[in-house]
Amino acid sequence: MNTNEAQPISIIIIGASGDLTQRKLIPALFHLYLKGRLPRHFNIIGLSRTPYPHDQFRAHLREGLTSNGSPQEWEAFAEHISYVAGNSQQPDAYTHLQAMLQEVEGGHSANRIYYFATAPDLFPIIAGHLGDAGMADERDGGWRRVVVEKPYGEDLHSARELDRVMHSAFREGQIYRIDHYLGKETAQNILFFRFANTIFEPVWNRNYIDSVHIAVEESVDIGRRGAYFDQAGILRDMFQNHLLQLLSLIAMEPPASFRADAVRNEKVKVLSAIPPIPLSQTFRAQYAGYRQAKGVADESQTATYAALKLSIDNWRWKGVPFYLSSGKALARRTSEIRILFQCPPHVIFEMPPFNPNQLTIIIQPDEGIHLQFEVKEPGSAQQTRSVDMEFHYKSYYGETPLPDAYERLLLDVIIGDASLFPRNDAIEVAWRLIDPIIAGWQHAPDAPPLISYEPGSTAPDGVSAFLGHACRCRPGGCQREEPDET
């Protein structure tokens, strides 16, 4: 669909004075503008409590830009940005918003995106007010779409309640629940890697794959987000959404087409095949100093690092362990999916143990794909060495950074393509898996201990043993080795 269509568009950001608007949404919209991918007539309206004159709001947004565009281009773009001060919990904010929309849209019918960039507890309130103000109504010929940031609910119950309120104002087809990991080029590439090639899919199953590890490590700590994070914890912040979404892309069956619902159906199916995760298959840790952060309780038991081991009970994956791990304040920032293959069924060489093949999909940074395999060590009689076949986006596409996830996702909302947005049933299945772990960690006698780790460490002590799936191939097959804790 052409985004440069005649119909004007208004993009309304609710919670506009926050970090997300400045760091992600406006830079993404500006890039789309520079690439000529926004409709010709567009308006961006910010709504927040902080009183800002338009100019000051624009200046604040400009500080969030890191690259791209000349000052003139920014000025031309910024002309389209206005601001309304108001409390999104109060009906009169929507009266002011309506007045501003009337002014910028000039009374003509326009498409509208309402972007919820507020604290999650406000989502149902905002949806309710938009509904009551008739702002979800499409009878004037313009569509209305709503984008909801994560977390979508804080457990299964609240996610369902949020859906109930959302659906009282909007149809399911109008709701775009954002998971920015799905907008990352490398995450999108998983389906292309699997289904645009013939050589990987035949081995993509329990007959050839030993284990899968999805690891998202962050070097940043929780920064100024203490109050949010202490309530959320790492499982709600990263696992219920990003990690389980990545897992669904790796493990789903091939959809019959690339249409939104075909893809979303397969994702839900595979997540539904994961049995409840016993507490014995969970690991949790907290970095030292976390409790001193603003907004964090003195005795907080909130995990800033977690690892889970789960299985997928279907024909493709039965018996293959999937490990998920993620944490804050670690030595490096990296998101990788490591697929470890089984050892050859019979080893004919007389040689020291060697590595099984491993395929690594690097989501970030230095995005790419590595395939590790064995070659004969030159000069030796019977010895191998692990080497890498590598693809890096940089080598093919140069140093220009890949488009930011928000750029792609906002464009998809504009063109009405929901493929990369989790559907409510996928969100519910994910909560069903995560809720019992969170509850168990709080109350169950068999909950794993909360391990402390130093900020900047490679991993918490003991996690390598938990994730101990390192395997070396020997004549008798794969032999698990004492994991290396470094």
> Applying CB under 6 A, which residues contact ligand BG6?
150, 180, 218, 237, 335
Tell me the closest approach of the beta carbon of residue 238 to ligand BG6, in angstroms: 6
Are the C-beta atoms of residues 8 and 42 closer than 8 Å to each other? yes
Our CB check for ligand BG6 shows the closer of 31 and 150 to be 150
**Which residue is closest to ligand BG6 by CB?**
237
Q: Is the dihedral of CA 204, 205, 210, 211 positive or negative?
A: positive
Our CB check for ligand BG6 shows the closer of 57 and 239 to be 239
DSSP per position, 163-231:
HHHHHHHS-GGGEEE--GGGGSHHHHHHHHHHHS-SSSGGG-STTTEEEEEEEEE-S---TT-HHHHHH
Tell me the closest approach of the beta carbon of residue 241 to ligand BG6, in angstroms: 7
Residue 333's CB is within 10 A of a number of other CB atoms, namely: 12
Our CB check for ligand BG6 shows the closer of 51 and 365 to be 365
In this structure, what are the phi and psi dihedrals at residue 226, rounded to the nearest 5 degrees?
A: -55, -50
Our CB check for ligand BG6 shows the closer of 214 and 340 to be 214
Helix, strand or coil, per DSSP, at residue 126: helix
Our CB check for ligand BG6 shows the closer of 41 and 180 to be 180
Burial of 200 (0-12, 13-18, 19+ CB in 10 A): middle
Instruction: For residues 159 and 176, give the distance between their C-alpha atoms in angstroms, rounded to a whole number.
Output: 14
Intra-chain end-to-end CA distance of the chain, in Å: 51
Task: Name the helix (H) or strand (E) containing 233.
Answer: helix 226-234
Our CB check for ligand BG6 shows the closer of 105 and 237 to be 237
Tell me the closest approach of the beta carbon of residue 268 to ligand BG6, in angstroms: 21
Tell me the closest approach of the beta carbon of residue 161 to ligand BG6, in angstroms: 21
Mark out the alpha helices in 63-90 (DSSP H runs): 71-78
Tell me the closest approach of the beta carbon of residue 335 to ligand BG6, in angstroms: 6
Tell me the closest approach of the beta carbon of residue 486 to ligand BG6, in angstroms: 24
Our CB check for ligand BG6 shows the closer of 173 and 365 to be 365
Tell me the closest approach of the beta carbon of residue 26 to ligand BG6, in angstroms: 17
Which sequence positions are flagged as catalytic?
A: 242
Cα separation values, 189 from 179, 194, 218, 442, Å: 16, 8, 22, 37
The dihedral formed by the CA atoms of 213, 337, 218 and 119, expressed in degrees to the nearest 10: -100
Instruction: For residues 327 and 218, give the distance between their C-alpha atoms in angstroms, rounded to a whole number.
Output: 6
HSE (CB half, 13 Å, CA atoms) of 207? 7
